[in-house]
Amino acid sequence: MTKTVVITGATSGIGEVAAFRLAESGARIVIVARNQERAIATHNKITRSNPHVDHHFYLADLSKISEMKRVATEIAAREPAIDILINNAGSVYMDNTLTSDGLAPTFATNHLAYYVLTLMLLPKLRNVNSAKIICTSSRAHRYVPFNFDNLQRNGILGYAQSKLMNLLFIRRLSQLLGTETITVNAFHPGFVASRFADNTTILWRSLMQVRKRLFGLSPEQGAQTLLYLAQSSEVNDQSGHYYVHSHREQPSVRACDDEDALQLWKISEQMTGVGFPML
C-alpha cells in the first residue's frame, strides 16, 4: 500500500533528498514549500522518479501562524490519511526581524510550525497504523541555556534554542500520545552544505559558505538519519528519542526536562490557539 509522506523544507538540502528517495521507494510525497518555483522543480523531480502516484505541493510561509494553520487545514481536507510527517523546514535570521505576528521568525519557523502542523494533522496520522512524526533538530541544542524570558531570539543563540525546543516538543508529545501507535522522534543531520543561512548578512553568509566548503556534509549524507527514521522498522516502537548517525543518542540534560517541556507546550498553545486533539 502506498504511503503518504508530508514533508516541509523539501525544496533543497536534506529535505529534497529525503523526498526524492522516499518517492523512489514508492511513497507519495506531499510538499509544503515557501517558494513556488522551487516547489514546482522538486515536484517535477519526484514525479519523474515515481510517476505512478499523485504527488502534491502546497505553498505557505511557515513563519506566520495564519499560514501554518491555513496549510494544515488544506492538507487535512485533502488527505484522508498520513503515514509520515516530516517537520524539516528551518531557518536562521541574524537580525531583529519580526514576523507580522510580532515573533522572531527563527522561533516561529523552527518551533511553532512544527507544533501547529503536527497537532492539526494528528487526526490524519491516527488513521494509519504505526504512523511516524520526524523532526529535524540539531546538536546545536547542547550549546545554549534555555531562557523562557527570551524565546524571541534570532541569531545563532536563537537557532540553537529553537533546536532545543524541538526536543522538548517531541518529549511532551510522546508523553501525550501514550499508548497510541504514532511515534515521534528527532534527529541531528550533521553540518550540511545546503541553503541554510543563505538569507543572512553578507559577512555571516560568507563565513558559512567557507565552513560548508571545508566541513560540510553533502545533503545526501545529511539525509541518511532522516531516511533511517522514515523507513526502518527498527524504530516503529521507539518514541520521544533523539538520533545521530542513525543511532539513539542521549540529548542534553535540559532537553529531558519535563517541566520545561510542559511550560513550552503551554506557551505554544497559548500563542497559536492549537491544542492536543484528544481521541
**In a 3-state reduction of DSSP, which class is residue 12?**
coil
Residues 6+ apart with CB under 8 A from 77: none
Residue listed under C-alpha cell 515573533: 103
Instruction: Tell me whether residue 77 is in a domain.
Output: yes
Instruction: Tell me whether residue 106 is in a domain.
Output: yes
**What is the per-residue pLDDT for 97?**
86
> What are residue 132's DSSP bridge partners?
84, 183
Instruction: Tell me whether residue 141 is in a domain.
Output: yes
Residue 59 and residue 31: Cα distance in Å, rounded? 8
**What is the per-residue pLDDT for 145?**
82
Residue listed under C-alpha cell 566548503: 213
**What is the per-residue pLDDT for 96?**
83
pLDDT (average), residues 59-76:
98
Instruction: Tell me whether residue 277 is in a domain.
Output: no
Instruction: Tell me whether residue 278 is in a domain.
Output: no
> How confident is the model over 261-273, as pLDDT tens digits?
999 999 999 999 9
> How confident is the model over 123-136, as pLDDT tens digits?
999 999 999 999 99
Residue 267 and residue 275: Cα distance in Å, rounded? 11
| Beta-sheet strand order (sheet of 4-8) | 56-59, 28-33, 4-8, 84-87, 132-136, 183-188, 242-244, 247-248
114, 159, 242, 243: which one is catalytic? 159
Q: What is the CATH number of the domain that holds 234?
A: 3.40.50.720
**What is the per-residue pLDDT for 48?**
96
> How confident is the model over 204-257, as pLDDT tens digits?
555 656 555 555 578 899 999 999 999 999 999 999 999 999 999 999 999 999
> How confident is the model over 34-58, as pLDDT tens digits?
999 999 999 999 999 999 999 999 9
**What is the per-residue pLDDT for 33?**
97
User: Got the DSSP string for 164-217?
Assistant: HHHHHHHHHHHHHHTTSS-EEEEEE--SB-SSTTTTS-HHHHHHHHHHHHHHPB
**What is the per-residue pLDDT for 190?**
72
159 is catalytic: yes
Instruction: Tell me whether residue 140 is in a domain.
Output: yes
Confidence of residue 202 (pLDDT cuts 50, 70, 90): low
- Tell me how many domains the chain contains: 1
- Domain range spanning residue 234? 4-272
- pLDDT of 26 strictly over 90: yes
**In a 3-state reduction of DSSP, which class is residue 33?**
strand
The rounded Cα 5 to chain-centroid distance in angstroms is 13
User: How does the average pLDDT of the chain come out, rounded?
Assistant: 91
- pLDDT of 180 strictly over 70: yes
Residue 218 and residue 227: Cα distance in Å, rounded? 14
Instruction: Tell me whether residue 279 is in a domain.
Output: no
**What is the per-residue pLDDT for 170?**
98
Q: Please, are residues 18 and 30 in contact by the beta-carbon 8 Å criterion?
A: no
The amino acid at 180: E
CA-based nearest residue to 12, from 203, 193, 231, 185: 193
**What is the per-residue pLDDT for 94?**
79
pLDDT (average), residues 61-87:
98
Instruction: Tell me whether residue 190 is in a domain.
Output: yes
Count Cβ atoms within 10 A of the Cβ of residue 202 and give its class: 0-12 exposed, 13-18 middle, 19 or more buried. exposed
Q: Which three cell numbers stand for residue 48?
A: 519523474
**What is the per-residue pLDDT for 154?**
87
**What is the per-residue pLDDT for 194?**
52
